[in-house]
A and B are shown apart, each in its own frame.
Chain A
Amino acid sequence: MKRLILASWVIARRDFVAVIFSKSFIFFLLGPFFPILIGLAAGGVGSQVAKDINQPIIAIVMAQPETGALITAHHALADQLGSSSMPILEPLADRDRDDAGVSQLLNQGNGGKNYIGVLSGSLDHPHFTATSADIQRWQGTVRLILQHARDGQAKSVLLTLTNVKASDGARNTSRLVTAQLSQMILFLLTMLLAGMVLSNLVEEKTNKIIEILAASVPIDAIFLGKLFAMLGMAFIGISVWFGAGAMAVLMTGAHLPVLATPAVGWPLFFVLAIAYFNMAYLLLGSLFLGIGGMASSVREVQTLSMPVTMAQLLFFFLASFAVTKTGEPIEIFAVLFPFSSPFAMLARAAQEVALWPHVLALLWQVMWTGLIIRIGARLFRRNVLKSGRMRARRRGVLARLFKRNRPV
């Protein structure tokens, strides 16, 4: 065991230094910022578009006093219900009062006002003209405004407000949000980082260094060393990204949404989140390393990366589906299935107080990591480290993965 750890350390140190001091590592660190920048830009444009779409204008074609009453009622209701849930009312001249004029208002073409409807007639006999979809959507609001315009200022009902610190309903719903969000972050980080392990043995194979490594140290140590080197690199990346995020928040004074405190409390939740990230990374990484080890070229690795990403998504969907079903068979399956286990258990940490399941789950996941590394190493030794006239070289990756040596 000591020799295995020492050998892993030698491999890990070499890989870690090689990655950290490579020029491409800068791009790796900057990588996640590009989609954030694009997302911010797209979000800004999108929100403006959404604002335009969600703030429809209704033309008012009524007599001046009635129009004034409608505007007053609209302001009063907007104060109470929020302006975003109300349409904009725009008074128009009398000349548009007839049916032809109303129809023309709604179909002005490019450069027009884009009215979604016209409210005409009088307060006693109002007439709302719009498409059937807009009528269905806005008739209630229009009726409310008309009613308030007819009755004068809306009477405010005295509502006594009493605050309680929490309720079961609120707490469970909020913790569910915490669980889902933490699960999503864990998945994104694992997907971004663990997939990189897939191509980790290609360098050794193309440079023929694998012969020297295999003659010097156990293959398990090569796998373990590579996994931990990449895990170290992942932690540097995460530190940089979260550090940059924290700085951005501090500098801009932006308010982050406040999440409900997880069931196990924030400090322990963070510890468990780090532990489950490690396990998710090692479990998926060891699987990908084993699969990638079978690939003989970068092209094969690229071909494999898509199904591997799909598999990751499946594991995540399984855990995500089970997040609201704590204790049910599907959730227990997600907890026991090694590749979804870290995600499912992190969600549990947000929702359940008990700690012993985490101890068991972590042990379970460590055991599976060891097992997958061992299987990957055996497959690698059997199917890749061969010399002589290997027919297997002409075979596909899957054929090599499942091929057996014929007994003598």
Chain B
Amino acid sequence: MTVETSAPTADPSTASLGDLAIDARGLVKNFDDFRAVDGVDLQVRTGSIFGILGPNGAGKTTILRMLLGIIEPDLGRRIILGSENPLKVAQHVGYLPEERGLYPGMKAFEAIAFMGALRGLPLKEGRRRARSLMEEQGLGYAMERQIRQLSKGMAQTVQLLGTIVHQPRLIVLDEPFSGLDALNQQKLERMIRAQADAGVTVIFSTHVIAHAERLCEEIAIIAGGKVPFHGKVETARDRLRPQVRLETRDLDGPWRAALPVGTLPDGHYWHFTLPDIGVEPLLRALIEGNAGILSLSIERPGLHDAFVAIAGEAAAAELARERDEKIL
């Protein structure tokens, strides 16, 4: 698999500063001798769903924490909802951290209202909205229960509701799908889409590519604290050439000159990247060369393939390891 070489850049020219919910430039963060984030640029358009993809330890959480003002970058600047100080616009931001946390002794609806109150929502209104949100999610029966009495999935939903109770303009979710079963993942995807439909900007980090592929308009791929790709999902996919899977009756002939140099047969099958000449010249060469085509398919690479290619071999190995762990 080959990756087109082009400079990994965001394309801020497509959006003016006023259209950007997040505009971060040259963010750098060191922890002692370790550079966790190394000159990251991020531009997130208002009202879009933006994914930050990367393997564990790539620097996703550190970037999000810098965007939120939990930690200060060593270098670079970030403008969140028009402000250089994220805490100044905290009442318009909702945040679901990777490590979920709630006060175990609090009642579910109180926990949601408390999270709203932290963002400036009056407690009374917060309680009203909390009850309403819990009813909407079918959790009305658990409203008065203490957090410690809820299942992990329910507690996670409560925290997510606490993230949106104050009706923020920007929602930041750090690995929101981790720990959720398939049904709850689908529910969460619906919630994210609903928020975006309402004009809210959603930015989330994940190492599960499928979620980003389904939800995001734009992504940034993080690897080793850098951003090797930032742009539309389609653009990421287009970086990889389509893959050809060809089955022929004969194994040799003049038609083989149309195949990329070094392509070897696997039985009667041939796997290769679509050559620069394109599909039609390839087909013509195969037919005219009397290759005896039994089957031919051209597969467009998915985001997963693009991610693996972009993030590099090390990131792929990390991802495979995580996937194996998940299966186990």
Contact = CB atoms under 8 A, between A and B. Distances in A.
A211 interface: yes
A406 B115 CA distance: 34
Given A391-B32, A408-B28, A208 B99 contact: yes
A38 interface: no
Given A18-B105, A408-B28, A388 B118 contact: no
Contacts of A209: 101-103
A363 interface: no
A18 B103 contact: yes
Contacts of B36: 387-389
Given A208-B99, A215-B70, A10 B30 contact: no
Contacts of B188: none
Interface stretch (B61-69, B130-138, B243-251): B61-69
A389 B31 contact: yes
A217 B103 contact: no
B34 A389 contact: yes
B93 A212 contact: no
Contacts of B103: 14, 18, 203, 207, 209
B70 A10 contact: no
Interface string B90-118: 10010101011111111000000011011
Contacts of B93: 215
Contacts of A18: 103, 105-106
B57 to A, nearest CB: 7
A387 B62 contact: yes
Contact of A388 (B28, B61, B120, B162): B61
Contacts of B114: 10, 14
B119 interface: yes
Contact of B97 (A212, A406, A407): A212
Interface string A18-30: 1000100000000
Contacts of A390: 31-32
Nearest to B69: A215
B201 to A, nearest CB: 16
A208 B101 CA distance: 5
Contacts of B30: 405-406, 408
Nearest to A407: B74
Interface in B29-79: 29-34, 36, 57, 59, 61-62, 65, 68-72, 74-75
B32 A214 contact: no
A407 B30 CA distance: 8
A6 interface: yes
Contacts, number: 102
Interface residues of B, number: 42
A391 B34 CA distance: 9
A211 B101 contact: yes
B142 interface: no
A336 interface: no
B274 to A, nearest CB: 40
B101 A207 contact: yes
B297 to A, nearest CB: 43
Q: Which of A22, A211, A390, A408 has the most CB of B within 10 A?
A: A211
Contacts of B86: 215
B34 A388 contact: yes
Contacts of B283: none
Contacts of B75: 408
Contacts of A6: 120
B120 A387 contact: no
B202 to A, nearest CB: 16
B71 A381 contact: yes
Given A14-B114, A215-B97, 18 more contacts: A13-B123, A18-B106, A207-B103, A209-B103, A211-B65, A211-B97, A211-B101, A214-B70, A215-B93, A215-B95, A217-B118, A387-B62, A387-B71, A389-B57, A391-B33, A391-B34, A392-B32, A405-B31
Interface of A: 6-7, 10, 13-14, 18, 22, 203-204, 207-218, 381, 385-392, 405-408
Interface of B: 28-34, 36, 57, 59, 61-62, 65, 68-72, 74-75, 86-87, 90, 93, 95, 97, 99-106, 114-115, 117-120, 123, 162
15 contacts: A18-B103, A208-B97, A211-B70, A212-B95, A212-B101, A212-B115, A215-B86, A215-B90, A217-B90, A385-B70, A386-B71, A387-B36, A387-B62, A388-B31, A388-B34
